[in-house]
Copies of this chain bind each other. A is one copy, B any other.
């Protein structure tokens, strides 16, 4: 991304540019809308790496047939509270939005619902999906597998992705609680950026190709990233691969292909979504009151830095979203030009490497 000073672009302008860009490469209007809702949710909440900039990769993949612009997404009911969704290689946000919507519908009747998705693609951040559940007064859980960047604990071969997990819990009158975490301490993208600037990386981010700890970003690139919490994050990453890939009859481990590095095969990503209806346990008011009691306790903690308030997970994103809905989303001017070009069929730009 450019280092030019950013300009504030209204949400609706970015929505329109994204819708046109996706429409131009054959994506149906409702699917373009679902995709932009997911991507712009990340931009609104301050996570541009999972925002509209992903179009720069999604569009060329759509153009080259690696993502199906008009998928026949099939939803199959396996049990009253279980569904499986075959994404037909559609856009990740399209397949995943249907996944969480189905989980929510099942939770309305059964109290909880689980939807697994296979044959999908990169779905952006987890937060947009768990927030779909929160808007229905439900707890949402979302996960996805991803192409391998980590080795098994004790190993040297990249076999497991840094598979993200999101959990969202609604609360009337306060921020929803949201976590949206990858299972590695850092991403390869971040390490690439630091290597370009010749910066040292923290010692627990990666091992080199021989499995030795390294703070040298270029050695780390030849090696692999480390799971958060050591073997614990590794175990969670495998569990997410099982729920997203093994259980869905989708791809897993080496079966998953890179979004930005593999230009001859579909990604074959899997997701899973769980919704739990909080209002079956107690009234919505009582549930929100209990969440606020929890939040109040956490916020009253003595602080390491008295000047930094304790934030509830997800609170910063909620505040950023409120601000950006009013004041626009900060976008580097050159990227805005690229987006405008994309909306007019100009594909002459460097595709991001991640």
Residues of A bordering B, CB below 8 Å: 78-82, 84, 109-114, 116, 139, 151-157, 159-160, 167, 169, 177, 179, 181, 185, 204, 207, 210-211, 228-236, 238-239, 241-243, 246-249, 252-254, 274, 276-278, 280-282, 287, 290-291, 294, 297-305, 308, 310-311, 313
Contact = CB atoms under 8 A, between A and B. Distances in A.
Nearest to A241: B294
B233 A111 contact: no
Given A228-B230, A254-B297, A82 B112 contact: yes
Nearest to A277: B79
Can you tell how many copies of this chain the complex includes? Answer: 2
B302 A156 contact: yes
Nearest to A141: B239
Contact of A167 (B81, B239, B297, B301): B239
A278 to B, nearest CB: 6
Contacts of A238: 177, 179, 294, 298, 313
28 contacts: A78-B111, A79-B109, A79-B110, A79-B112, A79-B277, A80-B80, A81-B81, A82-B110, A82-B276, A112-B274, A116-B281, A139-B243, A151-B301, A152-B298, A154-B304, A154-B311, A156-B303, A169-B246, A177-B238, A179-B235, A181-B236, A207-B304, A241-B294, A242-B291, A246-B294, A247-B278, A249-B290, A253-B298
B253 A185 contact: no
Contacts of A277: 79, 82
A159 B110 contact: no
